[in-house]
Amino acid sequence: MNLRQTIAEIVEKHLPDSSHFVVDIQIVEKGPKKFLKILIDADHGINIDTCALVSRAVGEEIEAKELMDTAYVIEVSSPGVDFPLSSRRQYQKNIGRNLQVVLTNDQILEGKLTEVDQRGIQLLAINKEKGKKGVEESLNFTFDQIKKSIVLVSFK
């Protein structure tokens, strides 16, 4: 097992409950220092206190097991709105929100996420033709058809 997998298991163990989950673990080396970036999320949102608790617990276990051979900086946070959705659980959490979806054929679509299942997602997209009112269209995509999805933030 590599360091990234080991740290992911440690993070999983220190999450407050089953509504919390790991999104990504990144280990970046910049000069003599390593940066350990841990992204976590929860089905109903995450707060800074949870990030702090996870950071302390994970840091203590990394130190106790001497997993990092050089100085490192640990950062635990939630993924930002511009961070692509990467798991079915993140899609599930964002049902009802507007997404921009880039397919593997590089087609870009926007629509409201209406459904998520084991195989993929359903979007309610508005197909606008020049000079005509938009027509709603329900589109289904499997996860393997999706290259990247991000939540679109509206300031209306």
Whether residue 16 is found in the same domain as residue 60: yes
Whether residue 50 is found in the same domain as residue 108: no
* Residue-wise pLDDT tens digits, 112-139: 999 999 999 999 987 666 555 667 889 9
Total domains, the chain: 2
Q: Which of 54, 77, 100 represents a domain boundary (last residue)?
A: 77
CA distance 72 to 59: 10
Domain boundaries, position 21 = 3-77
Whole-number Cα distances in Å, 78 to 23, 40, 64, 124, 144: 8, 5, 25, 27, 24
* Residue-wise pLDDT tens digits, 7-25: 999 999 999 999 999 999 9
* pTM reported for the whole predicted model: 0.79
Whether residue 100 is found in the same domain as residue 70: no
Q: Which of 20, 50, 77 represents a domain boundary (last residue)?
A: 77
Q: Is 9 exposed, middle or buried (0-12, 13-18, 19+ CB in 10 A)?
A: exposed
Whether residue 31 is found in the same domain as residue 69: yes
